[in-house]
Amino acid sequence: MGKVAERVTVSVWINWCIHKFYNIHGFNMRGVGKKKGQISEISQAQDRLVDKLQNVYKSYPQYSELVRMIMSTVGRGGEGDVGQRIRDEILVVQKKNNCKGGMMEEWHQKLHNNTSPDDVIICQALIDYIKSDMDISVYWNTLNSNGITKERLLSYDRAIRNEPKFTSDQKEGLLRDLGNYMRTLKAVHSGADLESAISNCMGYRSEGKGFMVGVKINPISGLPSGFPVIFNIFFNSKKASVHCSSSTHKRAKQELLQFVLEHVEDKNVEPLLEGLLEARAELKPLLSTSNDRLKDLLFMDIALDSTVRTAIERSYEELKNAKPEKIMYLVTLLLENLILSSDNNEDLIYCWKGWDRALTMLKSGENDWALFAKSVLDRTRLALASKGELYHQLFQPSAEYLGALLGLDQWAVSIFTEEMIRSGSAASLSSLVNRLDPILRSVANLGSWQVISPVEAVGYIVVVDELLSVQNKTYEKPTILVAKTVSGEEEIPDGTVAVLTPDMPDVLSHVSVRARNSKVCFATCFDTDILNDLRAQEGKLLSLKPTSADITYSEVKEEDVTRSSNLEEVDPSPTIKLVKKQFNGSYAISSDEFTSEMVGAKSRNIAYLKGKVPSWVGIPTSVALPFGVFEKVLSDDLNRGVSEKLQILNKQLGAGESDVLGEIRKTVLELAAPPQLVQELKDKMKSSEMPWPGDEGEKRWEQAWMAIKKVWGSKWNERAYFSTKKVKLDHDFLCMAVLVQEIINADYAFVIHTTNPSSGDSSEIYAEVVKGLGETLVGAYPGRALSFISKKDNLDSPKVLGYPSKPIGLFIRRSIIFRSDSNGEDLEGYAGAGLYDSVPMDEEDKVILDYSCDPLIVDVDFRKSILSSIARAGDAIEKLYGSPQDIEGVVRDGKIYVVQTRPQM
């Protein structure tokens, strides 16, 4: 983090804390009390603020991570002996070194009135100035690089106007005494200062002449056995650092903190990091127990955390030529450090376990170690991004509000959260992960791109943050979108010829399928340098030439582009028409009644498979609410009010008021079920040997009825509505049947494309597999699925292309799912699949996934068996239909079930 930005961040927090403290207790911002005995210096205000933060930490454990972050920027503060030392010791420095008057007297006056974290920087600037043989430019460089300008010095209540002027005979004494004084300043203002933090917990007595002889701080009782009891003040006779190995670290516990301090500057940082983390782990239980000196324990933990980051940053030069094993091990240490600093850390723990497994695979010589490590790296990035988003939601609104009250510059306020993140435990981990990424990609032969839709394109570069924010836009010129975020559920805007992103939507996600169907180039770029180069070319006309694993690009001139390129206007696609379906007299039908007049292709295909696929492939029993049932229910006298309301809303929609779509969906949920519908659906489900929800009570039927209405209401999803408008489909003619199936409580879910969608190779089956239900695969859930290919002439030898990085899996009890099955899906020339919702009767449980013990990941024979079975099921279904298929299914107890199939678009 830049030093100026760091100072801005610290200032925002401190100003906020002091501002709030003075407002609460009736003081003005200049530290001048309104009544006798009021506070007169910032250090005392900090001390009382930290007491309040300590109480919040105890009373509201859910905010402990945030309190810890605040404390890391505020500093411990102090009153009584500790706060008084700042004022007294500066007088000793002046007297012992004969430097009264001038800048030193101005600083003394400033310290006496209001000491602040700026004083740490001023003291360091004086030390640097003296060490440089009184080069005044060095003094100003230290100040300015930390955000302290001449104007800032003049702005203090007691301004500092003069520059320091010392002589060579003062050098030795000033360096000694200012060095001691720096420790006193840090003891108050820098909660992350390791020596002072340890001393305040372990206890010390002051020594030396003139420096507060007799001040004593007692050790905290109940400290771990691995911690020493009494430390001499700031370890005046610190031993020289020596090289040590990990085994050296594993010494008697009572030497742990002494070891850390002795080796805090070692070039070989691994033993130091291990010692720091062991100390933090020993300290962790005390942070959740009642202790009147909890703040000192917290500051020691913050100091240990900060030292981890300092150590790893010191090792960056050495890591340039380090082997992957070393970098991966350091990643595990930094992850452990972040876990110790985080509240909700289950995902981080599973990332840590993933790295540990990757290291085991590497050491045992497994061929796929780099491919697996890359998936763990991607998951780690997702975890860090999620934490960053959470911080932004929590901090930035308050930063904007408080920044305005305090009159801070907008540029400083706007980067507040970003700088807070950069100053924390996650920043060094993110940096190390970025260093490792290209190494893993190289070893795993992944290259810089994953090309999802390899289509040549020529267009103008447009940079956007989110594809979602522009999905309904129409670009007049052919456009190559460089989008920071792509979730997987978006539509591709009209006029777009390519979408390039660092994000990782699944190859079989909605947006990926859309790209291939629309002949739009779509690819993930893993190389930040390439992405930055593309962003820098915004507005330029580029030509993209993809292969199945790479993209080359170059700038072109309009006059050099032939009329056959996609720079020219594309002929409009052929007109697609919907045929409106009518109610046929039945509210519910069984699978042997499925016809094109009654249900969509989804229902017909699943009924067709029954009895025709190999016996080892399961097909779930199905019934359906056919076309026209929604309209029939709406026309029932029970729902007259709902019908009238929908008519009004639909008129508004027809007039272009698309913001009523949400209100329409809500109104559909108000529908009441006619008794005949309930009875017919019950009869059909029971005759098909499906469980009837009503047998478990009226509440269970109401859950089922709500799910059915949500499927009907998805006709008015924004994405679906705008998609039909783009191809000029008559939205009024869109009819929704509902396919009803019992949910198989899946161990895994999969999607198969029987022709490889990335390469177009019809001899290869491509499939993706997720843990739990398939919604995490087809919906907008972050991370990648396990992906593999299988040659059709060798189905028992699947090849894994990528291991899973999805942090979330969905699981459900025995239940019913209601699947959308409209007449707008699987139309020739238009892929409507995935536009409408399938809704389970019960909510899924979101589970944070641990892949380190998942048999699909750790058991080679199990993985081969499951993936081969999936591939063989896909091959059998393709042969049954005689054309490439897009197949969805699940695995339960090793058995394959296919829940739907459609032609691969």
Catalytic residues, which ones? Answer: 510
Nearest alpha carbon to residue 53 among 44, 66, 36, 41: 66
Q: What is the DSSP string of 310-334?
A: HHHHHTHHHHTT--HHHHHHHHHHH
Q: Residue 521: which of 578, 618, 453 has the closest Cα?
A: 453
3-class secondary structure per residue, 755-804: CCCCCCCCCEEEEEEEEECCHHHHCCCCCCCEEEEEECCCCCCCEEEECC
HSE (side-chain half, CA atoms, 13 Å) at 642 = 22
Q: Which of 174, 271, 462, 347 lies closest to 846, judged by CA?
A: 347
Other CB atoms within a 10 A radius of the CB of residue 370 amount to 21
Question: Nearest CA to 768 among 609, 888, 899, 893?
Answer: 888
| Dihedral angle over CA of 832, 837, 838, 842, nearest 10 | 170
Q: Which residue has the tokens 């007109």?
A: 575
Identify the residue whose tokens are 């899996």: 809
- Give residue 528's identity as a one-letter amino acid code: T
Closest CA to 185 of 42, 83, 310: 83
Helix (H) or strand (E) holding 819: strand 816-822
Indicate the helix (H) or strand (E) that contains 461: strand 457-466
CA distance 153 to 142: 13
Beta bridge partners of 498: 480, 521
Closest CA to 758 of 522, 565, 511, 542: 522
**Whole-angstrom distance, CA of residue 473 vs CA of residue 475:** 7
Name the nearest CA neighbour of 429 among 344, 497, 339, 362: 339
By DSSP bridging, strand 474-485 and strand 494-501 are parallel
Burial class (CB in 10 A: 0-12, 13-18, 19+), 868: middle
